């Protein structure tokens, strides 16, 4: 039994060796042509130029500029401001110019600001005169607005301007007031002399009475200056439409 197994194993080994030799021989084919085929130089090449990239033009695309808008204030619009300097009929004359600062934004009917707070209102003193009668409570002051200055740019305006806090201030006694007293005293003395038949006593009494009348007259007609304090309220009222391009 063991002998049969040995015979079979020997036969199997011999068969394996023969197969390897056959396989090696089959794989080793020395007759094959291993050279690459020669390239045909006459064949056209399918070369194409690469697409050129777009060259920069140096220009940057920009959005079209927005069209300027015009904002309008209707005639009758009031502008609140404050005087940058005081006014007095003792020192100011017709023709003097002054300014006021706009106190609050002035807006159109759509609620858009047309004249901003801080803008400057330019004014001209058209007429100014002190009060010469006790019954005169205001004196005379006429102001005319000429332009509004916004961010360094001027816009003409037409309208009127009112100093809301103006007052009258008494002047010190001047030569005119003393003259009124003197005239009254002289007239009283003449009248006293005539009434008393030319006596000195009548002239003195008449002079005293006349002086009293002259003093009262001087008080009633004492000059009082128109006075506007610095920083006091100014109101400008437009007489025509005001337009500003934004």
Give per-residue pLDDT as tens, 111-162. Answer: 999 999 999 999 999 999 999 888 888 899 999 999 999 999 999 999 999 9
Determine the pLDDT at residue 24: 47
Written as six digits, the tokens of 17 are: 């060796």
* pLDDT greater than 70 at residue 196: no
Give per-residue pLDDT as tens, 29-59. Answer: 555 555 555 555 565 556 666 665 656 666 6
How high does pLDDT run on average in the chain?
78
Rounded Cα distance, 106 and 145, in Å: 16
Determine the pLDDT at residue 46: 61
Written as six digits, the tokens of 172 are: 């010190």
* pLDDT greater than 70 at residue 212: no
Determine the pLDDT at residue 133: 85
C-alpha closest to that of 114 among 82, 79, 145, 162 = 79
Of residues 189 and 200, more confidently modeled: 200
Written as six digits, the tokens of 154 are: 């001027």
pTM greater than the 0.75 cutoff: no
Determine the pLDDT at residue 237: 98
């Amino acid at each position: 039994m063991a002998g049969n197994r040995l015979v079979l194993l020997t036969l199997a080994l011999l068969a394996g060796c023969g197969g390897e030799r056959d396989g090696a021989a089959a794989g080793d084919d020395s007759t094959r042509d291993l050279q690459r085929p020669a390239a045909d130089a006459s064949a056209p090449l399918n070369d194409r130029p690469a697409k050129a990239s777009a060259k920069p033009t140096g220009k940057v695309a920009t959005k079209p500029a927005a069209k300027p808008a015009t904002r309008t204030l209707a005639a009758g619009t009031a502008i609140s401001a404050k005087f940058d300097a005081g006014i007095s009929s003792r020192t100011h004359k017709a023709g003097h110019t002054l300014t006021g600062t706009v106190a609050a934004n002035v807006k159109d009917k759509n609620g858009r600001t047309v004249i901003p707070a801080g803008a400057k209102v330019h004014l001209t003193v058209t007429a100014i005169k002190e009060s010469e009668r006790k019954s005169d409570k205001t004196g005379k002051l006429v102001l005319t607005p000429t332009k509004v200055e916004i961010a360094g740019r001027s816009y003409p305006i037409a309208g009127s301007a009112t100093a809301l806090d103006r007052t009258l201030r008494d002047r010190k006694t001047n030569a005119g007031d003393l003259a009124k007293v003197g005239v009254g005293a002289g007239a009283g003395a003449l009248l006293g002399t005539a009434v008393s038949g030319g006596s000195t006593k009548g002239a003195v009494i008449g002079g005293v009475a006349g002086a009293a009348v002259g003093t009262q007259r001087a008080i009633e007609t004492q000059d009082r200056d128109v006075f506007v304090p610095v920083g006091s309220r100014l109101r400008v009222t437009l007489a025509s439409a005001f337009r500003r391009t934004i």
